[in-house]
Amino acid sequence: MNNDFVLGDVALFIDWENFKISLAGGNRVPNVSALKEEVSNHGRVVVAKAYADWVTRSPELKGASQFVNDPPALYASGIEPVYVPTRLQLGNSNNSNRTITVKNSVDVKMTADCIECAHSYPNIDTFVIVSGDSDFIHVINALRTMGKKVIIIGVSWTTSRRLSALVDGLIFYDIDVDQDSNNASNTYNAPATRNNYSRQDVPDILQSIENIVIRERESGRIPLLTSVKQRLIRQYPGLDERRLGFTGFKKLVQAATEQGKIQMVTVGMADWVILADEPVPEEITSEETDISENIDNAIDANTEESNELKTSTNNSEKLAAYSGSMSELLSSLEKASSTRDDNDESRINQIIVMSDYLYDVKESTSITPNTLGDEISSNIKGALDAEVEEIKILWEKTFSKTYVNKLIKGLSDEKVFTKSWGSVQEEGSDKPKRKRTLSLNREHPVVCYALETHWGQSMENNASFASNEDEDSGSGLAGRVMRLFSR
C-alpha cells in the first residue's frame, strides 16, 4: 500500500517572504525540491501554496534573488504561487503614484486560507506551515481544535521557540531539511528510525538531550523545554518517555541534568534548558521577554530589532474563539450562497465595522434590516465609484444590493446580529411604526474581534484618511469608507 495514503493528506502553506528573507539572513536560498520532499514524508500533498508580493522589491534581497523570479520554480515543483499585495495605490490608478503599505497582508491571507481549507477539505488532516512567525499561533490553535495535526517548518535562527509548545512537530529547514554542507556542527546524528525505544536506550537519549542544548546555546539560542522535546522527537521518532521509565518529558530532562552538563530553570510559567555552568540569561529573566520572543518576525529580524509581541492569555482565547466561530459562520453561509470566495471573511468583518459605525452615527443600537442594507450598499458603491482600491479588491466582482442584504440576513441568522422589535419613525409619517430591527451582538466572538481589531488599530494610529493618507497602513478602511461616503 502506498505510504502516502497510510499517512493521510497534507496541506502545505508557505509564508514565502518570511521563509526566503530568513534564509537570506544566513546567506542561504530555499531549495523547493528538498522542502517538498520533506513535506511528502508526512503524507500525500494535495494542497501546496506559497504567499508573497511577487512584484514588490524587498530591500533584504539582492539582484536576481527578488521574489519576481520565484513563481516559475514553484509552479514546476507543484506549489501554487499566491499573489498578496503589500502595497496598494491610493486614489485613481491613472493619476496617482502614491501607495500605502498593507501590514501583515500575507499572514492574514494565509490564515484565512488555512481555515477555509480545513473546512472545505475534511480529508486533509495534516497542515504544514512554513514560517517562523509567532503571528500564526492563533491559526495553529484553531486548526488543532478542529482535529488537525500542525507541523511548523522554520529557519532555526528566526523561528519563535514558543511555537514548539503548540504544534505537533517543529522542523528546522536549515538543520533537518537542507543542511548547509559547510556547517557540519548543526548535525544531530539521528539514529535509525524506529519506535520501540526501551530503558536500554536511556544513556544515548540523555546524551542526545545534552547535545541538543549545547548546540542551541552555541548558536545563541535559549531552548524551551518543549523545544528540546521537539528536537529529540525528530531524532527519535515515536519516542515515549513512559516506556523509558519516566512519568513525563520533564522527568527525563531532569535525569539528563544530573550528568552535570545542563540545567533546567523555571522562569514565570515556562521551563528553559541551559548549560550547567552559565547564569540564567537576562533574556528569560526579563518580564517583557517572558511575554514575547526576541525574534517574532523573520523580516523584522533581518532589518531591525524585532518589535516585542504583546499578547495575553485573554487575547489568545479571543482569537482562538474568533477562528472557530468564523469557520462555522463561513460553513453556514456556504450552504446559503453560491457566490462564496476567499474574500468572504474580510467582507464579513467590513460589514460588521460599517454597521457599528452606522449605529453610532444614528445614535441607535438597533436599525431595520432594510435601512442597514441600504446604507451599507450606498457606501460600498460610493467607494467603488471613487475607486478605493482595497474596497474594489473585496467587492468589485460580487457587489450588489441584493448580495449585501443576503449577507446581512445570513449574519443575523447566525446571531452576529440579534433580532428584535422596535418603534421606527419613518420619513413622511407622523407616528412611529413597530418593525423588525437588528442590533450587533457584541458578545459574538467574530463581532468582538472585528471591532477590536479595526477600531483599536485606528485609534492607536490616530488614522485619518484626509490628513495621513501617505502613511496610512490600511487599518480602519471600513470606517473611513463610511465617513467619506455617508450622507
Q: pLDDT of 221-253, one tens digit each? A: 787 887 788 788 878 877 888 888 888 888 888
pLDDT tens across 248-277, in order? Answer: 888 888 888 888 888 888 876 677 888 888
* pLDDT, averaged across the chain: 76
* Residues contacting 171, CB < 8 A, separation 6+: 38, 151, 152, 153, 154, 177, 234
Minimum mean pLDDT range among 341-355, 420-434, 472-486: 472-486
Domains of the chain and any CATH numbers: 3-303 (3.40.50.1010), 313-485 (no CATH)
> CA–CA separation, 43 vs 58, rounded Å?
34
Query: Comparing C-alpha atoms, which of 180, 87, 188, 178 is closest to residue 130?
Result: 178
Per-residue pLDDT band for 130 (boundaries 50, 70, 90) equals very high
The tally of CA atoms less than 13 A away on the side-chain side of residue 417 is 30
Per-residue pLDDT band for 195 (boundaries 50, 70, 90) equals low
**Per mean pLDDT, which of 59-68, 224-233, 280-289 is the most reliable?**
224-233
Per-residue pLDDT band for 64 (boundaries 50, 70, 90) equals low
* Residues contacting 43, CB < 8 A, separation 6+: 4, 7, 8, 9, 10, 125, 126
Number of H helices, E strands in the chain: 19, 12
Q: What would the grid cell of residue 289 be?
A: 521577554
Q: Average pLDDT for residues 114-125, to the nearest whole number?
A: 93
pLDDT at 289 over 60: no
What integer pLDDT is reported at residue 430 of this predicted model? 65
- The per-residue DSSP string of 244-256 comes to GT-SSHHHHHHHH
The pTM assigned to this predicted structure is 0.51
